[in-house]
Structure 1
Amino acid sequence: MLKNKAVLTHGLVWLALLTVLFLVNVREHPDHAVILILLYGALNVIIFYIHYFVINPILIGMGRYWRAVGYIAIVLAVSIVVKYGIALYYDDIILQYRDSDGQQKILTPMQYMVAALISGLFFMLLSTAVYVISTNFRTREDRKNLETEKLNAELAFLRSQINPHFLFNSLNNIYSLAYKKSEKTPEAILKLSEIMRYMLYESNEETVLLEEEINYLKNYIELQKLRFKEKVHVDLHVDIEEAGRRIMPLLLISFLENAFKHGVSTDEHQPIRIDISVQNGRLYFKAENAKNQVNKDQTKGVGLTNLKRRLQLGYPDRHTINVVESENYYSSELFIYL
């Protein structure tokens, strides 16, 4: 794409330049304007691109200055000879001119060659300027692409850390149900199947619909509830003004994991409270719960360290995260500008 744009830009610039030269010369030499513009235009274009593709890489890329100077001298010498040959053929147009007094004058060979030398040097300097600008632009683009690839690779790695962590915890829960020969085991396996389907197929995208992510959280909550004999109290409140908002997948699960990790509430007066809302393009997420040492999950995972890194990569300067923890209380808040 960038290469096609560069070719188009070069073509348009040369077309505009040759058109201007044609309009300048057509009044004085209407019969030969096209021929002269094409001849001299073609020569200058050749000088430009020989310098651009052959000499500049040697001069700037390799730093072989004397070799580059030798090539420059050869190109200038050949171009001057060719231009002077054209001037001799059209001597009445090119070599003759009128001075300020209106008298007819003729350019000497030296005068014309100096003018041709200056013209050649001008297009070489122009070529060098364009080469430096283009090289710097490509370098910035390559660096940007490299950084993007690096960020994507790091995000993929962080996301891959979540899957084994979550799977490990869930399998532990199902094992516990199966060991107790609980009737909840088939339902737990079904919930895990739905969750894994989302994680394997939906979460491979860079972003997913917020509604799908919330549905994934609901399945996770239901799976967690199946672990306990007592009724687990979770108060989930969702308020989304705008449908179709998208979010990085598997971003909010760490909050839920921490809420359940610090103890599942079987007290209806102290439920795990989860608030999710979107207003004016800003996501607000809060999970809070009273700690319960009896139902505390002892497993360790990647948790908030992983989450914070993903937020830094995916939402730089567009998020705020607050975690409050005391002896008996745990709360986590997240604000994201989607």
Structure 2
Amino acid sequence: MLKNKAVLAHGLVWLVLLAVLFLVNSRERPAHAFILILLYGALNVSIFYMHYFLINPLLIGTGRYWRALTYMAVVLVVSIAVKYGIAHYYDDIILQYRDSDGQQQMLTPLQYMVMALISGLFFMLLSTAVYVVSSNFKTREDRKSLETEKLNAELAFLRSQINPHFLFNSLNSIYSLAYKKSEKTPEAILKLSEIMRYMLYESNEDLVLLEEEINYLENYIDLQKLRFKEKVYVDLHVDIDVEGHRIMPLLLISFLENAFKHGVSTDKHKPIRIDISVKNGRLNFKAENAKNQLNKDQTKGVGMTNLKRRLQLGYPDRHTINIVESEYYYSSELFIYL
């Protein structure tokens, strides 16, 4: 069925065509123009839409050609018969014409039927052309809608993977603190509560304020620091030209996870360095640290794989990611045009 916008467009086109036809014919033969608009216009419009809704789906949608050809023949025969009946009734208006010598002539039944056949075929062809264009447009729109739904579903799935992954690691840390009866346990629980509040409520949006994402990263760093008896050195530097930038939520956490995973620094001369800057809409995020083989987390997560896929979906052709790893050093850097 035609949608509201398509119905309006079709109606306007028919009104314009019929109005032009009426103006062209009404100057010399107003009676002829009146009959042409009310009768022939309605008949041709009927042919158009019978072909559009009944025959085109058979021809194009299902390939049932014989049934379609049968319907076409029926529509043409009926329309020609009705048109000829009207023409015969108004023969002095419709069937009469003047030849090149100015003599009054009368169309024969065969001549008129051929003209009616050509007219019917024209409106059928026009109907098929409009149907093909509309179908192609609808197919593109449906494909685009499906792709968008697929991307949204995939992004939602990837985002959902982050929560249990991070929660698993954080609970392990808090368990260690509680097992040791550390005074840091209440603070760690409070930090985890703030983080989970952000992950459950704020990160449901497609984009969040960069400031909120950075605050989430700071809470994560504070929570990680509580795991260790020794002082952990993390150098976080933020330089944003203007406020209000937005970013996909939970996008940068994988870098921090990797930084702590590859080695926590208790050496103030070799801290984990996190640099976040935004200049002219371009985000530069860099995390680097010296590896600490004693503290290295040997577990394998889905963080970076997840991150790369989310970047492909959310920032296609608008991001660059570089990872450098050696025996003693790990660095990851991300550029995004926000």
TM norm. shorter chain > 0.5: yes
Q: Secondary structure at the match of 1:20?
A: helix
Q: Is the contact made by 1:286 and 1:333 (CA closer than 8 Å) also made in structure 2? A: yes
Which whole-Å CA distance do the structure 2 matches of 1:56 and 1:31 have between them? 35
Q: Secondary structure at the match of 1:53?
A: helix
In the alignment, residue 81 of structure 2 is paired with which amino acid?
V
Which whole-Å CA distance do the structure 1 matches of 2:179 and 2:167 have between them? 18
Residue of structure 2 in register with 1:299 after alignment: 299
In the alignment, residue 157 of structure 1 is paired with which amino acid?
F
Which whole-Å CA distance do the structure 1 matches of 2:286 and 2:86 have between them? 80
Which whole-Å CA distance do the structure 2 matches of 1:98 and 1:118 have between them? 21
Q: Is the contact made by 2:32 and 2:94 (CA closer than 8 Å) also made in structure 1? A: no
Residue of structure 2 in register with 1:3 after alignment: 3
Q: Secondary structure at the match of 2:192?
A: helix
Unpaired segments ≥5 residues, structure 2: none
Residue of structure 2 in register with 1:220 after alignment: 220
Residue of structure 2 in register with 1:178 after alignment: 178
Residue of structure 1 in register with 2:279 after alignment: 279
TM superposition shift of 1:278: 1.5
Q: Secondary structure at the match of 1:203?
A: helix
Q: Deviations over 1:133-159 (max 9, x none)?
A: 111221222222222222222111111
Q: Is the contact made by 1:265 and 1:290 (CA closer than 8 Å) also made in structure 2? A: yes
Q: Is the contact made by 1:236 and 1:275 (CA closer than 8 Å) also made in structure 2? A: yes
Q: Secondary structure at the match of 2:333?
A: strand
Residue of structure 1 in register with 2:88 after alignment: 88
In the alignment, residue 148 of structure 1 is paired with which amino acid?
T
Residue of structure 1 in register with 2:36 after alignment: 36
Which whole-Å CA distance do the structure 2 matches of 1:23 and 1:241 have between them? 64
Q: Deviations over 1:91-130 (max 9, x none)?
A: 2221111222222221111111111100000000111111
TM superposition shift of 1:174: 0.4
In the alignment, residue 319 of structure 1 is paired with which amino acid?
H
TM value normalised by structure 2: 0.96
The range that moved more, 193-202 or 276-285, is 276-285
Q: Deviations over 1:166-194 (max 9, x none)?
A: 00000000011111111111010001001
How high is the sequence identity, in percent, across the aligned residues?
A: 87
In the alignment, residue 242 of structure 2 is paired with which amino acid?
E
Q: Secondary structure at the match of 1:250?
A: coil
Q: Is the contact made by 1:169 and 1:299 (CA closer than 8 Å) also made in structure 2? A: no
The range that moved more, 72-81 or 25-34, is 25-34
The range that moved more, 88-97 or 27-36, is 27-36
Which whole-Å CA distance do the structure 1 matches of 2:126 and 2:31 have between them? 30
TM superposition shift of 1:26: 1.5
Q: Is the contact made by 1:262 and 1:330 (CA closer than 8 Å) also made in structure 2? A: yes
Q: Secondary structure at the match of 2:30?
A: coil
In the alignment, residue 252 of structure 1 is paired with which amino acid?
L
Residue of structure 2 in register with 1:23 after alignment: 23
Unpaired segments ≥5 residues, structure 1: none
The range that moved more, 107-116 or 34-43, is 34-43
Residue of structure 1 in register with 2:208 after alignment: 208
The range that moved more, 197-206 or 182-191, is 197-206
TM value normalised by structure 1: 0.96
Which whole-Å CA distance do the structure 1 matches of 2:108 and 2:29 have between them? 21
TM superposition shift of 1:35: 3.9
TM superposition shift of 1:163: 0.8
Q: Is the contact made by 1:210 and 1:246 (CA closer than 8 Å) also made in structure 2? A: yes
> What is the 5 A alignment of 1:1-338?
3-338=3-338
TM superposition shift of 1:40: 1.3
TM superposition shift of 1:32: 4.7
Which whole-Å CA distance do the structure 1 matches of 2:4 and 2:276 have between them? 46
In the alignment, residue 211 of structure 1 is paired with which amino acid?
E
TM superposition shift of 1:31: 4.1
TM superposition shift of 1:90: 2.4
